[in-house]
Structure formats: C-alpha cells, structure tokens
Structure 1
Amino acid sequence: MTKRSGGGRWMQWAMLSMGLTAIAPTQADLLDVIAERVTSSRDSDGGGAIKISPVNIRQIYKQRQQAAQEQGDDYTLTEFDEELIATDRWRYFTVHNTVFDSDVFVLEAGDVNKPTMILVHGLGQNGLRDWLNVIPRFEKEYHIIALDLPGFGLSPTTEGEYSPTNYASVVHQVAGVFGAKQYVLIGHSMGGAVALRYAADYGDELRQLVLVDAAGILYRTAYLKHAVEFPAELYGLSDISVKLITGVEELGQALIETVTSLPDAVNYIRKFRQAWNKTLGLNPNVNAATALVYEDFASAAHETRVPTSIIWGADDGVAPLRTGVMLNDTLEKSRLHSIANCGHTPMREKPAQFNALLAEVLASPPPQNPPSLLKVSAQAEKLVIEGETNQFYSGEYSEVEIRDSTAIHLQNLSAKRIKVTDSSVNLENVYLAADTTAMIAVHAIVDGTNVTMAANSGILADDSRIDLANATLIVDHEAINVGDDSQIILSASQVVSPGFTGYVHGQYRTENATIDFKKKGLQ
C-alpha cells in the first residue's frame, strides 16, 4: 500500500480529538490504512461514492441513551453492548452504502494484512453481537469485518426492501471499502441466505463460504411448515403416539399450505416501493423476514461454485436441517456438519464446539462433491410396505409400494418407481428410473429432499400433497400430472422436459391438469 506523507499523524490527531482509543497499538501502519480509507471513495456497485468514517462507540451509545430519555424510554446496555465498549483493540466505522443511502455500522478486528473474514448476522437486533464469541477466537489469524445490516443493531432503519439480494450488495460495498480480496464469508440464519446470494453474485471474490443454519432458501411454504414439526426424538414412541403426532403435524402443515395457496397481497406490495415502505418498512424484522421468504434461491443453490461448509444445529427449530441436506447436494463443493443438542444459534449455544468446528472447516475447505452412486438394479426385488409406522428403508429395489402406512422413511434408495397410497412418506437421497411414471401418489403425503427421477413421466398426484426440495425431473413427456385436487411444492428444483427446461421454485395447486411450468406458481 502506498502511504501518504503525514496521513498517519493527521488521522491519529483526528481520532484523539474524537476520543477514539479503539486502535490496536501494535499495528504500526494501521492509522495510515484507516486514513487512506477515510480520504478515499469507492464505487463498489456502480451506484455512487462509498464513504467510510471512524466512529466513537461510546458516543454512539451515549446518543442512543439520550434519545431514549427524550422519548421517555429507558435504553439499557446489554452485556454485548458493554463488550463492544470495553474492547479497545477493535475499531469501529460507518460505511455509507448506496443501496439504501444510509450508514452501516462496522466492527473491524485483527491485522489488516491477514486473510479477511466477513461475518453477516441474522434477524434480530443483536446484529453483529451474535458473533462476539467468534471474533476473539479468530482475530489473531484473520482480518475480521462484522457489520450491522441496515435496520439492525447500530445501523439505522431505512426505507427499501431488506432482501438478501439488496443486503448482498451492501456487504459487497463494505468489502470493497475495506479492500477485502479472496476472503471468507460467513453468514448465519438470514445472513446465511445473504451469504449464499453473495456467493452467487460475487463468487469470484470469495475463497470460502460458511453457511450457519441458513434461513429461507426453501420455498416459503416448505420453510414455514417446519414451525409445526415435532422434534425428531419424539419418534421413539409407540406406533399409536407416532400416528397421533404425525396427524397433528399433517394438520398444521395442511393449514399452512392452504393459507399460502390463497391470493397473496405481499406479491402486490412488492411491486410498489412506496407500498412496501408504508406496510413493512417500519419494522426491520418483518421487512427482512418477508423479503427473505419471497426470494428465489434456485439458481444460487445450484450454480454457486465457492467451496462451502454448512454448519447446522441438529435441533434447529427455526431453519430446518433439511435445508442443509439440500444444499450439501446442490452445491458443487460442500460438506455438511451437524452439531448435536444445538438449536438455531450454535455460535452462542455451543461456542467452544462451534469455534473448533469453524477452525477445522477453514483449515480444510470441502473438495469437489463425488457423483451419486445410486443406481437401479435389474435384479432387485420389489419392496411392499403395508400397515407400517415409523419405519426406515434403504437400498436397491425394482419397485416400492407403500399402502396404509404412516411416517415411512426412504433414505439412500433407488428403484424404478414408487407408489404411495393412503400413506405419509419422507424421501431423502432417492433415485428413480422408470420407463413409465416414476412416482404415483394417491391420497398421500410425500416430502422429499434430493430426489431424482429419470422417466417417461415424473409424478402423478391424485388427492395428494407433495413437497420436494432439490428434485430433478428428467422426463420424456409430462413432469407432473394431477388428478383430483393436489398441492405440489418444489424448492430449488429442476425440470427437463419437452415443454419446459429450467429451475422451479414455487407452489402449485390444481386438479385434472398437467402442471405448466412456463406459468409461474404462487410466487
């Protein structure tokens, strides 16, 4: 870096006059680095000048407390706020972004000459404070940048749609101002969705991606259905209990599917910025959560080439582990790691275990994923499941027929075709190769993740509910035919057929028809 004469002395005087002491004294050229940033402007996304300014963290909190008192409110510092104030080795800035025309609060830690790590938080006003167990562990090895996304933490609420695409552009501008190159991007929850979008849009800038309990990604109905699922360990109960629990789950999920299939006012609101600002703009959590579940991640899930480590709390009640299972199959270079007895925020719930795992994946990025070994054997036998509850099956079969059964699980299984009648079944890593129809569902409930069908026709649904994530339908004729009223949900899926070839991410409810993917589902 070219140094400007006197730049460091000017910046030191300026910061001392502002009462700033959060500069690591061991980095001899750090003041010159900051001075160069402050006196420069960048145009990271072609939207105008991007400016950076140092800030006094104590003064920010003092101003917030004064503003609260003037409104008759009490602004109490949390333990996380106290840690930000007390840690003198960290540096604080605002970066003015052009996406929302607002300032973004940024924490910087570590040596600027080390590899860069950028941390993106999820929903909630904790913002970057969710990473306070992570930053001290890695600041000696990395140059760390953590930011409060617009509307969260110490970044002001602004107008506009807090979508993963817009937030990814904000992160891109911040990264550009700090001169980050070939860096690690880590996103949690909503921040995981932002990070995935970032990798899809700016993947050449990244050397590694880490997704932690990434929220959204699935089509919104599939994502919301997770809220009414029971913990997996309940399935160690009796058949009667399992049937009761499954019935309650299915009722709740059916209600969600029905509600989400109704005409959607949000789609109208999204078309008009003023309507969005008036209805959703005043609540950052609602704004960001709504924009998240309305974003289509199909292409991002399949086309991201950045080596990606996926970390998930096994007991996450917010973002289903199913999302991680799906991404581990769609991404070109990925590895899924599950933390036992852990919920949605592993870096706070299991900090030591999370940091150890993060250090491990950073040291060993995932390689190219191997091709699937599932195949259909001509010598395989037919599998018939009737009157069973909560049973697991895997292997190679000529056909699979399931009748009058509840909570059947087919994992790592291949067959020519599957027929499900009056039953509920879960598919994971299933390959079907048929010269007729690959899947027939009659009065059935079918959930599936990573399901491939190479067949004459893909699915025949008759009075059934089918929810597939990362389904690949390669067919000679129709991908999905529907008899009696049925509902089909497809997340980040692909169809290759005479009438349509492309990604599918949507919800379809119809009867006596062939689904036309050229017409959008419930977007």
Structure 2
Amino acid sequence: MPTKILGLLTLLTMSAPLLAQNQTVADLIAPYPLPVQYATASEDVQVAYIKTGQGETTLIFVHGLGSYVRGWEKTWPAFANSYQCIALDLPGFGRSSKGAYSQSMAFYRDAILAVMDAENIQQAILVGHSMGGQASLYTALENPDRVLALALSAPAGIETFTEQEATALRNAYTPETYGGMVEAQVRYSYGLNFHVWQEDAEPWVADRLAMREADDFQGFATAWVKSVGGMLDSPVYARLGEIMQPVWVAYGAEDQLIPNRYLHTTLTTEGVGGLAKAAMPQAEVQLIPDAGHFVHFEQSEEFNSRLLMFLKTIQ
C-alpha cells in the first residue's frame, strides 16, 4: 500500500474517537417534531423552542425539572388549531445551552421572556409543569404585564419547606451522583412520575441514557442539581395573593412527588391543592384521577379537555 494512503488511513483511524467525543446533548437526543428555533436570553444563553399553531393568543409550555420540550408532546397538539403554541427548553436542558448558570427562578423567567421577545409576544398564557409551574408563577409575580393567565400542571412552589427540610433537599444529590445514575436508577426515577408507567414515555428514557455520552452532559447534571436550589431559594407561596390573573391548577390524584412523602408524611396531594386555592382564591384547582406527577401526559385527554374549558374563559 502506498505510504501516503497508509498515512491517511492511520490519521482517520486516530481521529475517529476524537470526532465521536465532540457531541452535545442536542446531538444525541431524538429530533423534535418541529423545527427548533433559538432565542437569546443573554450573551451565552440560547433558549431552544418549537412553535406551531394559529390564533391571537399564545400558550407557552414550560417543562419541569430534568424534562424538555417532549414532555408536552401530548398537550400542545390539542390546542394548535386555536392557539399559537410554543414549547421551550429551559437553559441547561434539552437543546438549550448549558453552562455555569444560576438555574434560579429569575434566570428561568428571563428565558421565558427571551422567547416571548424573540416572537414579539407582549402577553401569553403560561402553561407550566412542576418546576416550570413555579417558574411561571415567579414570572407572573415579577412581570405581571407579560402574563395573561396561568395554567399549571402539578406545580412546584405551593408546598413549602423549612430551612432544615430545604437543606436536606439540597444535599440529596450532587452533579456526580445524579449524572452517575445507572439505567435501573434512571428508569426508577422516571417511573416515579407516573401512576402507571406509560410506554410512550420510553423515548424520554432513551434520550436520558443517550445523553450520558455528551460532552456537555455534566452541564445538564449540574443544571438539574442547581435547579433544586433555585426553587428553594425563590419561594413564591407567601406572595401568591399578589397574582390577579386567572389561574388553573391540576394535580394528578396519584402524584408520588408532590407532596414530598418523606418530609411531609401527613400532607396529601389534595391538601397541596387546597393550599393553592387558599393562596389564590380565584384559582380553579382540580384533581385528576388515575394520574401521577405527569398528569398532563398520563391522562392527556382529560387534562386537555379541562384546560380547554379554562382557556375558553380567558378574555
């Protein structure tokens, strides 16, 4: 074999592992069902989102801790005929940028507003799940002129924690322990989100396992851990009486994550819903049977039907 050809083959063989390592989470997770667009929240923060639908009113879907755009794949299609629908990846997750971010509720508020500004949307209805629900509540409190209404799926921020409880939650994981979870642990953690495991959530598990090989996976793991602190550092419950917009709240009757079963052994999910109603008298609070923490996914038809009824009341 000619020396030049042999040298070229050797170079390609040596460089192949290097090329394989140059992959991000965005490269390794499955494609989204719609083209991905990006909004700039700050110099180094790019917020990924998808957009579809038609209508004068915009729904912005904000996912929860560790999730991404695909967490809403049974929700936004049901509203695209009557509403403009935008689902975003909070920074640190999905296809959004990852870095040394605060992962605070103010940081996530800025990401939501960046998408709205990029699309020239003055006001929107925020549809938030879990941590995304708390981020939506925070946005409504800090920027009420940008929020037309709130629709919340199993929102965090209603259940409160003492300083001692908050410390326990902060210390539960490090980026190394969370990022180092083996497949059985990943599957167990995903299973806690459902009353009955949903086979169509299997692609989420596949994405979560695949992203472990990404160059920026540590950024995702760090974002997850810091987001727990972000929620604890930005309590919203004491201020919920300031929210004047229409509010709809849905919890799954079989939610295993809210309330925290280890710290609040006598509190029930229905009780958390009662706390939401007490803090926001205008809120419509509903408990959906046979659903866990991902109530909008596990009982999507029921959730979508009830959400649509609420949306029809918004002027």
Q: TM-score, normalised by structure 1?
A: 0.42
Q: CA deviation at 1:283?
A: 1.2
1:103 partnered with 2:46: yes
1:329 partnered with 2:273: no
**Counterpart for residue 201 of structure 1:** 142
Aligned counterpart for 1:341 among listed residues 273, 290, 293: 290
Maintained 8 Å contact 1:95/1:103: yes
Amino-acid identity (%): 26
1:167-182 superposed matches below 5 A:
167-182=108-123
1:283 partnered with 2:283: no
1:132 partnered with 2:73: yes
1:152-301 superposed matches below 5 A:
152-221=93-162, 283-301=222-240
1:69 partnered with 2:4: no
Q: CA deviation at 1:68?
A: 8.2
**Counterpart for residue 309 of structure 1:** 248
Amino acid paired to 1:312: Y
Report the CA distance shift for 1:143/1:221 in structure 2 as closer, same or farther (over 3 A). same
- d(CA) in 2 for partners of 1:67 and 1:184? 45
- d(CA) in 2 for partners of 1:92 and 1:75? 11
Maintained 8 Å contact 1:97/1:170: yes
- d(CA) in 2 for partners of 1:331 and 1:207? 15
**Counterpart for residue 24 of structure 1:** none
- d(CA) in 2 for partners of 1:364 and 1:72? 46
Q: CA RMSD in A?
A: 3.3
Which structure would you say has the larger RCO, counting Cα contacts within 8 Å and 6 or more residues apart?
Answer: 2
Report the CA distance shift for 1:314/1:92 in structure 2 as closer, same or farther (over 3 A). same
Maintained 8 Å contact 2:141/2:243: yes
SS in 1 for 2:36: strand
Q: CA deviation at 1:73?
A: 11
Q: CA deviation at 1:101?
A: 2.8
SS in 1 for 2:285: strand
More strand by share: 1
Unpaired runs of 5+ residues, structure 2, are 1-16, 173-217, 260-268
**Counterpart for residue 493 of structure 1:** none
Maintained 8 Å contact 2:98/2:219: no
Maintained 8 Å contact 1:97/1:103: yes
Q: CA deviation at 1:214?
A: 0.7
Maintained 8 Å contact 1:161/1:281: no
- d(CA) in 1 for partners of 2:24 and 2:90? 24
- d(CA) in 1 for partners of 2:161 and 2:128? 19
Higher deviation after alignment, 316-325 or 186-195: 316-325
Maintained 8 Å contact 1:315/1:343: yes
- d(CA) in 2 for partners of 1:74 and 1:198? 27
User: Which structure has the bigger radius of gyration?
Assistant: 1
Amino acid paired to 1:212: S
Q: CA deviation at 1:102?
A: 1.2
Maintained 8 Å contact 1:210/1:308: yes
- d(CA) in 2 for partners of 1:140 and 1:133? 14
